[in-house]
Amino acid sequence: MADFGATELDTFRTETRAWLEANYPPSLHAPMTEDDTPWGGRNARYSNPDIQLWMDRMAAKGWTAPMWPTQYGGGGLTKEQNKVLDQELRRLKARPALSSFGVWMLGPVLLEYATEEQKQKFLPGIIKGQIRWCQGYSEPGAGSDLAGLQTRCEDQGDHFLINGQKVWTSYADQADWIFCLVRTDTTKKHEGISFVLFDMTTAGVETRPIKLISGSSPFCETFFTDVKVPKEQLVGRLNGGWEIAKRLLQYERQNISAGGFGGVSGSDIADVAKSYVGEDSAGRIEDPDLRARIASHKMDQHAFTLTIRRAEAESKTGNGPSAATSIIKYAAAKLNQERTELLVESMGLQGLGWEGPQFKPEEKGAIRSMLRAKANSIEGGTSEVNLNVIAKRVLGLLDHQ
């Protein structure tokens, strides 16, 4: 699709704004809780049916994946149109229609590496939120050194047979399918890894949630015992999975950074501070030290948002995300940890509430978000690993013995 000129974009903006205002359910203007996250999937159950309604309406337009090709159900929008859509969604303060590992990570690599048959089979379901995906990467002995993974995938003639274990598999107990790195050649390290897809209801798949300090269990241990996988669910070439894995990690870091890591949904940190600490005669946060630190944080956050937009624009004019996503992911982790700590500090003792009627839901959510944020510098690539990537691949620094 050719880029629109100014007049055409104005028309697109007018039509988009009218459609969003007519189709966004009013009930979704309420702050979103973690339980309301629109993950999609065949077992999705939402307390508010409008969550599913909003997902279905946006998916029918292809706007859950607005720049994906229309032949797979995507929106087919240009870069300029997508920017307008994003601006109008922000103006409406609309919730995400679909929060999906399929959209953020798997879909982009399928568009790049999958066969046409695989694209036709999997991409429409991702866009519609019909299948919830999880990521089978890290193992107990292969975290930071992901290429050391040992989950075996053996050729059995008409199918693959998988045996092994994954860990920190986000929402594996709730996922429908998994995109998984497996070892298909034990004589090589990076060149012996393949990328496969399979149904989580396949015989031999077992998940065990891991309870975190925040009280939630988003991560799982995942076990594979003689799991049979059809050969046509291999993506890319046999033993060529490491290239796909690296590409997917770049998309993961880009989207973790752009989407944030959560927190108290819909809350502006300055407004929270004013409501708990109070305001001075000029309408500012009364505590000058807290006020200065919140102002500094908000400036950093704004600069980060502008950087994200620039990086997204650059990635769409070149060959997709680059190693620079490690910079963004590292900064995003620090910013979210700082934000959740400032929210708890602003609430004072009320921000330390764990249970009981004397604490509001957002107060109990604040301390849980702060504790959950401790994992931000680990998940999606540890901060230490990302700093190494930045040093070597972005700054071009070399080790000196």
Residues annotated as catalytic are 252
What secondary structure letter does DSSP report for 73?
Answer: T
Tokens (6 digits) for 189? 């390290």
Contact 297, 338 (CB under 8 A): yes
**Which amino acid does the sequence have at 99?**
S
3-class state of residue 276 by DSSP:
helix
> Taking the CA of residue 75 as centre, how many other CA atoms within 13 Å lie in the half-sphere pointing to its CB?
21
Q: Report CA dihedral (170, 175, 181, 185) to the nearest 10 degrees.
A: 130
Q: Measured between alpha carbons, how far is 353 from 141 in angstroms, rounded to an integer?
A: 37
Nearest one of 192, 105, 98, 91 to 148, comparing CA atoms: 192
Tokens (6 digits) for 226? 């003689």
Nearest one of 370, 385, 103 to 215, comparing CA atoms: 370
Which element (helix H / strand E) includes 229? Answer: strand 219-230
Q: Measured between alpha carbons, how far is 302 from 296 in angstroms, rounded to an integer?
A: 10
Residues 163, 168, 170, 172, CA torsion sign: positive
Nearest one of 63, 62, 66, 35 to 48, comparing CA atoms: 35
Residue 269: Cβ-neighbour burial (10 angstroms; 0-12, 13-18, 19+): buried
CA distances to 35, 207, 224 from 210, rounded to whole Å, are: 18, 10, 17
Detail the DSSP E strand segments found in 7-158: 133-136, 152-155
Nearest one of 101, 256, 98 to 177, comparing CA atoms: 101
What secondary structure letter does DSSP report for 197?
Answer: E
Q: Measured between alpha carbons, how far is 316 from 230 in angstroms, rounded to an integer?
A: 33
